[in-house]
Chain A
Amino acid sequence: MTPRSNGMWVVVLSFLVAYLLAIVPFPEWAMHYRPQWVMLVLIYWIMALPYRIGIGSAWMAGIFTDILEGSMLGIHALTFAVLAYITLSVHQRLRLFSSLQQSGIVLALVGLVMTGTYWIKVMTAQTAPGGMLFLLGALSSAFVWPWLFMFLRQLRRGFDIR
């Protein structure tokens, strides 16, 4: 199958919106609950268009996140690439799952990536070692996943992106 390269701007736009949502200021108490929008959008597009969005795109998205957050270059590039690899290897199964099962997988994936990022940050002394509260972000990500999934699927069908 040779896919037409169409609708790339929709993909890029969805990523931009995800970045915006990722940095919009949150109140202090809700910091831990911020869903990982960029990862969710990445998982969706890898699942939907595995032949177009892959490890390379994930790497680029990660680098952009690094620059946006001012974190050490490469942290998110590395972890997003791992995320993309795992998602790519299970995307066939992922498509068949019910939304609840998908949420479970998303919880595991995002949790894994966040833990990896956290470990690297602690190892390089960029953040203070604290509790595991940051994993609440994975929980909220899994919670918003079904809605995000439906929304992005509508978007994809509406613009007929293949």
Chain B
Amino acid sequence: MALALALMYVDSRFAYLDRVRFTMAYLTTPVYWVADTPARVSAWIDDVFVSQRDLLEENTELRQQLLFAQRELQLLAGLASENSRLRELQEASQAVQGRVMTAEIINVSNDPGSRRVLINRGAHNGVFEGQALLDAHGLMGQVEEVLPFTSWVLLITDSRHGTPVQVNRNGERAIARGGRADAPGLELEFVPDTADIVVGDLLVSSGLGQRFPKDYPVARVTSVVHDPGQPFALIRARPLAQMDRTRHVMLVLPDNEAIMGAPVIFDSGSSGSDSLTAPADVSEDVAPAAELPAPEILQGDAP
């Protein structure tokens, strides 16, 4: 009993046990590997037992998609170069476009109160704490705990997680916090009633807070309620990432220079390393106070 209490105390207050946890994870990894076997076997069966006709159909479909994607990529290349020229004019730092590392979700947390997933990449693959996780549609979360061959990722829909976002249409900034309701969703916190946010707006990551890369799609606004009795507007959004359906995800690899796009005024010079050494403040209450001031400070020269 006393030992358990002591362990809990030490683990919550100090970082000594991280190493123990890390080592012990060598023991637990096989369990996850076995638990994941049914999914892998079914995927393998899907792969093996497909008719040639299906394959051909899928092939042509994929070819078409590739064509579309390439066309859009060409447009994008033009836009990107134009964008970088404009940025040079403004002397702003380059936004990330970054390289990514693919990963697979191999398990979800069985605690209904927290939304976390386990991915099959760990310290041996170069994963680090705070790394952003994406799927094909949008931002999913950030790495919370790194184990040897796996890592726990805190999803943006967890109620302890706050994501700095901005409205794609007009650059309005806010913090999107995981919904406290049962349905997975996001709530925008502390948005004044006068803010110009309407249903259907696309929210992208703002890059403030130096955790997430800038301009990745995060969510779409689903409801805006102006309640005269409330000091702030009640805004809900649905994440674009397919939180509970997708299996294939991507980890964003940092570039050597600034990870994030927006220049941060209050501490320039330590942009990349700062986000690595910063303690994982996600586990406590996300400290909106720490992240909120950023928009205020930048307000002056950002537009």
Contact = CB atoms under 8 A, between A and B. Distances in A.
B109 A70 contact: yes
B27 A126 contact: no
16 contacts: A20-B34, A23-B31, A24-B38, A25-B35, A67-B27, A68-B32, A70-B145, A72-B11, A73-B20, A74-B5, A75-B8, A77-B4, A81-B1, A128-B114, A128-B180, A134-B113
Interface residue tally on B, bucketed by range? 35 or more
B11 A73 contact: yes
B159 A69 contact: no
Nearest to A68: B28
Given A62-B4, A75-B4, A78-B5, 7 more contacts: A19-B31, A68-B32, A73-B7, A74-B3, A74-B5, A74-B8, A134-B113
Contacts of B1: 78, 81-82
Interface stretch (A26-34, A105-113, A146-154): A26-34
Contacts of A125: 160, 283-285
Nearest to A71: B111
A74 B28 contact: no
Interface centre among A20, A62, A77, A127 (most CB of B within 10 A): A127
Contact of A130 (B8, B21, B112): B112
B4 A23 contact: no
Given A20-B31, A23-B31, A73 B21 contact: yes
A31 B32 CA distance: 18
Contacts of A31: 110, 112
A69 B12 CA distance: 16
